Amino acid sequence: MSRMIRGGRMSRNETSGDRRSLPEARLPRGQILRRLWRYLGRNRALLLLAMLLTFLSSSVGLIGPRLSGLAIDAIGLGRGQADIPLVLRYTGLMAGTYLLASGLSYALSRVTLRMTRNIIYRMRKDVFDKLVHLPVNFFDRYQAGEIISVVSYDIDTVNESLSSDFLQIIQSVVTVLVSVGMMLYIKPVLTLVFVVTVPLSAVYTRWITGRTRPLFRRRSRKLGELNGLMEEMMSGKKTTRAYGREARVLEAFDLKNEEAVEAYTTSEYYGTMIGPSVGFINNISLAAISVFGALLFLRGQVGLGDISSFVQYSRRFSGPINELAAIIGELQSAFSAAERVFRLIDAAPEKPDAPDAHTLEEVSGDVRAQHVHFSYLPGVPVIRDFSMHARPGALIAIAGPTGAGKTTLVNLLMRFYDIDQGSITVDGRDIYGLTRSSLRAAYTMVLQDSWLFYGTIFDNIAYARPEATREEVERAAKAAMIHSFITKLPLGYDTIIGDDGVNISKGQMQLITIARAMLSDARMLILDEATSNVDTRTERRIQQAMRQLMAGRTAFVIAHRLSTIKNADTILVVRDGNIVEQGRHEELMAQGGYYTSLYRAQFETY
């Protein structure tokens, strides 16, 4: 997205500082949980099936320890009364229950995988749908690399926790409840050990999670900043090498990388402390149970099989608590990632069309601006009291020095930004009473920064009209003076263009985008320095072809080379956001004003 201000590029200092991370508004944990639950709720059938399988696999697996204790009692250690058939029976039942539990766990993994796929697809779709509808100024303020980090890393983090940790919590709760029930059934007095250790684990876990959540939030932010820096440096690698700034770039990367690693290490350090610390407390309880159980066995108050079963259930009881402690650490990372995802989803979209907005149809191309005022930042006016009238089929040239407001004007025409005061009309209709889609469909735009996507040359040109035939695409390419170059390629129009046209020149990229514009059926055309990367001879030929192609259509042309706009119907001379002169080339030259000085300065310079 272009970052424009005062007719030119929006500088970092003019956007209240460097482009920054996504908004840092804190979301309550309860709100995050509710919104995460909605994604689970969209897969209600799979979720219920997964919960059922989780309950069954956990419950069946917990039968084993009791059967193990019964088998030990059937052996009759120390009494010489082993009941071998009963031992074999209990052993066979144990093998059956564990086999059934394994089968249920396998089915659970299949269901979880399908549910995970649905959740991550839906979440990424929601984020990308929001990106498509965000205003241009959102991308002016925030780094593209960090937005990509949210779409990839943060959503993956949330999805892993949402799909696996949620079911693990259910499994842990079932295991704990069943284990407590069985321990109370076997020997209630031994469960008194947990009266001390469980509250101690809960208090410690609550304390440590309060410390770790800000750390995971900082980790996500630093990783996003690192991705943002990498995206900027990769897109500007040629400029970096041209100015010999490799060392400076490496220093900046090392700094961001060090901050990201430090944030990652710190969060993981405190996060991984939770499991071992809680495990230590639970191991103390296991040791206490073993000692007290042995004393009760020596006094004949409990059997050896019951002690074995109780110890196994106590381990099953302690295991989920350890797992829950580890999961809580992972959830801190998931909550921080979810917070960033939801902040992006909650970003304010473009203002909706008016309820009574009309669709712009049968466009003739009569464009009028009256007393328009505009500012990117409050209190910093860019356009002041701008007025102009473009009749249908007219060629309107916009000239002026860098930063005068030329590009800003065409952005206002297409409602990429909203004006502060005044009115802009198309065919007598206020553009704010029209739907954005129909207004923008009435224009076709060619920018100075050519944009091509990974695909064939044919697909890139036909982007303006996907239903266009090969003949129509070739006709547009011939008019743009790019047909002969395309036919010399090994695959012609089926040649694949790399990302952002890396395997062709800047001039060829621009000619392809001009061909794309020529293919469009739009009644109005905007050319923003569209021929800056082609030679003067080709530029004139393209303009001649475009004038023929755009006969009867309104065209707005921004050009620095004033010699190329001598034939414009009207030239608007913009200075400091105001139109200081307007008229035909001959008229303006005869006035001997600001336009004359610009025109002569170019020829004196070049």
Which CATH number does the domain housing residue 478 bear?
3.40.50.300
Helix (H) or strand (E) holding 502: none
Report the alpha-carbon angle 196-202-207, nearest 5: 125
* Number of domains into which the chain is organized: 2
Domain boundary among 345, 368, 383: 345
The mean pLDDT of 386-390, rounded to a whole number, is 87
10 — pLDDT class (breaks 50, 70, 90): very low
Q: Which residue has the tokens 């020997």?
A: 187
pLDDT of residue 604: 59
Query: Which of 48-52, 399-403, 492-496, 518-522 ranks highest by mean pLDDT?
Result: 492-496
- Residue 431: partners with Cβ closer than 8 Å, 6 or more residues away: 413, 415, 424, 425, 439
Answer whether residue 1 shows pLDDT above 70: no
Answer whether residue 606 shows pLDDT above 50: no
Whether residue 457 lies inside any domain: the answer is: yes
Whether residue 81 lies inside any domain: the answer is: yes
Taking only the tens place, the pLDDT of each residue in 500-550 is: 666 777 778 888 888 888 888 788 888 877 666 667 776 666 666 666 666
pLDDT of residue 270: 76
Radius of gyration of the chain (CA): 35
Q: Which residue has the tokens 């590029």?
A: 9
Domain match, 240 and 121 both: yes
Whether residue 341 lies inside any domain: the answer is: yes
> Among 413-422, 443-452, 462-471, whose mean pLDDT is lowest?
443-452
Whether residue 435 lies inside any domain: the answer is: no
Whether residue 534 lies inside any domain: the answer is: no
Whether residue 396 lies inside any domain: the answer is: no
Looking at every residue in the chain, the average pLDDT score rounds to 78
How far apart CA 439 and CA 399 sit, in angstroms, is: 24
Answer whether residue 7 shows pLDDT above 50: no
- Residue 101: partners with Cβ closer than 8 Å, 6 or more residues away: 57, 60, 61, 64
Domain match, 337 and 450 both: no
Among residues 169, 59, 55, 159, which one has the least CA distance to residue 114?
159
Domain boundary among 311, 330, 345: 345
Among residues 581, 67, 503, 85, which one has the least CA distance to residue 305?
67
Taking only the tens place, the pLDDT of each residue in 269-317 is: 777 777 677 777 777 777 777 777 777 777 777 776 777 777 777 777 7
In three-state secondary structure terms, 179 is: helix
> Among 93-107, 227-241, 243-257, 363-377, whose mean pLDDT is lowest?
227-241
Whether residue 247 lies inside any domain: the answer is: yes
CATH code of 50's domain: 1.20.1560.10
The per-residue b/e assignment along 520-546, b for 16 or more CB within 10 angstroms, e otherwise, is bebbbbbbbbbbbbbeeebbeebbebb
pLDDT of residue 493: 92
Answer whether residue 425 shows pLDDT above 90: yes
Whole-structure pTM value: 0.64
State the residue range of the domain holding 240.
Answer: 29-345
Answer whether residue 395 shows pLDDT above 50: yes
Domain boundary among 279, 314, 345: 345
How far apart CA 39 and CA 35 sit, in angstroms, is: 7
pLDDT of residue 25: 56
pLDDT of residue 424: 93
16 — pLDDT class (breaks 50, 70, 90): very low
